[in-house]
Amino acid sequence: MADNQPVAAPQIELFVARELGNSSFLIADPDAGEAVAIDPLRDIGQYLDRAGRLQVRLTRSLDTHLHNDFVSGGRELAAEAGAVIEPLADQQEVAVGRWRLRAMLTPGHTPDHLSYLLSDSNGKEVALFSGGALMVGAIARTDLFGPHLAVHLALEAFRTVQVRLRGLPDDVALYPTHGGGSFCGSATSDARMSTLGEERVSNPFLTTTELMPFLARALHQDRYPDYYLDMAAVNRKGAPLLGRHLPALKPLKPHQVETLMRERKAAVVDIRRGRDYDRAHVPGSYSVGLGGPFSAWVGWVIERGRPLVLAGGSHAQLAEAQRQLLRIGYDSVLGYLEGGVDAWQERGLEVRSFETAEVEDLATWVLSAEPMTVLDVRAMEEWVHGHVPGAVHMYVPDVAHHAHEVPREAPVAVHCASGYRAGTAASLLEQAGFRRIIHVIGEWSDWDRLHLASTIPG
C-alpha cells in the first residue's frame, strides 16, 4: 500500500450491558481476519459469535483496568479462542490487522489505568478506547481504592484529561467502557460514544481547567454497590471459567425452594415488576426487578456466595437474570422456582402482598394527617434536592441494618424516584418484620406536577 493512501475504516462492534451502564468492544479488520476485544464481559459467546460472522480470529483481549463492577472475560477468551491476555505497558503497540493499538497510561479511575489509541497504517489516530479515564460527559470515580487515595487519583485524573490526552485531535472517536447508569461514574448521558472535540466543548471535566473545582466535582459521588469491595480481588485471582455457553438453569419445585430457604438460608430473588411482586410473593424474598440495574442491586443487598434462587418471569428473563449475575461473579444460583409464585401458592405455601399506591395517593395520605411513616429510600444526592415533608430518609442499602429505627405502629409508605428501588426496600422491610407496607410506584416528578411542596434541607 502506498504511503498516505486512505485505509478502509476498522470494524468497531459495541456490546452494551445496560444493567451495568457499560460497553465492551470488538475491533476487527475483516480483510486481515483479526480482531481484538476490549473490556469483555464474562459471557463471551456474544464476542465469539460476532467474530464468526465477521470471519475474524480473536487474537488478543485487553482490559483498560482491573474492574470493580464486573468479571473480566479475558481469561474466558484465552481459554476458548486462544486470545493473548498479557497486559500492555505504556506506549506499547499491538497490531489488529492493518491497524495499531497503542496503550496509554491514563490513571485516575485506577492507578494503573490504560486507554488504547487506534491508529491506521499511516499513523492517523482515529479512536480512543478510554475505559473510565474519560466518559461521555464525565470521568469515572476516583474513590474505589479508599478515601485516602481518592484525592491523589483525582489529581491524576486531572492530569490525564488536561495533559495526557491534550495532544489528541478533536476528530478522534471516543469509546468509553463506563457510561450512563454505571455506578463507576456520574454520567447521565446514555450515549455510548462521542469525539474528543465534542467532549472538549461539553464535558465539565474538560471545560473545568482550575484544579479545585475539578477536584470538588470529581469527588462528589454517590455510593457504589457493596459487591465492588471484593470484585477486584475476584478479577485478580480469576473467576472460575464458564466456557462459551452459560450453565443451564435448574428448575426447582416449591418444596425444594422452601427447604433451601429454611436449611441453607437461600435468598429468593423475584425478578418481576414491582406491581406483580406486590400482588403476591414468597415471604422473605427480595424484589429486584430485571427491568432496572438488576445485578448491581442484588450485589448490593445480598452477600456474595449466598445460595440464590430466581423467581418470576419467563424462561428467557430468568436466563438473562442468571447471565447478569454471572457477570458480577454471583455464581451461586441454584435454579429457579418452577411455576413461579402461582405454583408456590398452589402447593399451599404462604404468600405475602403489599399495597401498591401512586404518588398522588401518598400526597392524599400526607394531607389527611393519618398516622403513617413515609420512607424515602433515594440516594442522599436526590433527597437533598427535595423530599416529602416529614419523610424519613434511609437509602435502600441501609434498610436492612436500620429498619429498627422505623416505627412499627403505623403503615410505612416506601418511595424512591420511580418505584423500582422502593420495591427492593419494601421487601427488606418485610424481612425485618414489617407487615403494613405500602409500595409507592410512580415518578417523583409527579409530586411537583401535582403542585405539592417539598422540603429542602437548608
Across residues 291-298, what is the average pLDDT?
96
Across residues 339-367, what is the average pLDDT?
94
Residue 458's pLDDT band (boundaries 50, 70, 90)? Answer: low
Q: What CA–CA distance (Å, rounded) separates 142 from 140? A: 7
Residue 349's pLDDT band (boundaries 50, 70, 90)? Answer: very high
Give 250's contacts (C-beta < 8 A, 6+ positions apart).
Answer: 334, 335, 336
Backbone angles phi, psi at 222, to 5 degrees: -75, 170
Residue 457's pLDDT band (boundaries 50, 70, 90)? Answer: low
Residue 39 C-alpha cell reads as 473490556
Q: Residue 453 above 70 pLDDT?
A: no
CA dist list (Å): 451 to 178, 242, 445 = 37, 53, 10
Q: Report the CATH superfamily, name and number, of domain 355-449.
A: Rhodanese-like domain (3.40.250.10)
Q: Residue 6 above 80 pLDDT?
A: no
Residue 1's pLDDT band (boundaries 50, 70, 90)? Answer: very low
Give the pLDDT confidence of 390-418 residue by residue, as tens digits: 999 999 999 999 999 999 999 999 999 99
Give the pLDDT confidence of 330-346 residue by residue, as tens digits: 999 999 999 999 999 99
How big is the chain, counted in residues?
A: 458
Domains 246-346 and 355-449 share a fold: yes
Contact status, residue 191 vs residue 180, Cβ threshold 8 Å: yes
Strands 93-96 and 99-105: antiparallel
Q: What percent of the chain has pLDDT over 90?
A: 89
The domain made up of 246-346 is a member of CATH 3.40.250.10: yes
Q: Residue 61 above 80 pLDDT?
A: yes
Backbone angles phi, psi at 36, to 5 degrees: -130, 140
Q: What is the pLDDT of residue 18?
A: 95
Residue 248 C-alpha cell reads as 443451564
The domain 11-231 is placed in CATH, from the list 1.20.1260.10, 3.60.15.10, 3.30.360.10, 3.40.50.11440, at: 3.60.15.10
Q: What CA–CA distance (Å, rounded) separates 420 from 287? A: 9
* Every domain of the chain and the residues it spans: 11-231, 246-346, 355-449
Q: Residue 121 above 50 pLDDT?
A: yes
Residue 366's pLDDT band (boundaries 50, 70, 90)? Answer: confident
For 363, how many CA atoms within 13 A lie in the half-sphere containing its CB? 15
For 236, how many CA atoms within 13 A lie in the half-sphere containing its CB? 6
* Residue (of 139, 100, 138) closest to 117 by Cα position: 100
Mean pLDDT of the chain: 94
Residue 2's pLDDT band (boundaries 50, 70, 90)? Answer: very low
Residue 23 C-alpha cell reads as 460497553
CA dist list (Å): 411 to 171, 283, 375, 390, 430 = 57, 18, 10, 14, 12
| DSSP state for residue 4 in the 8-state scheme | T
Looking at the whole model, is its pTM more than 0.85? yes
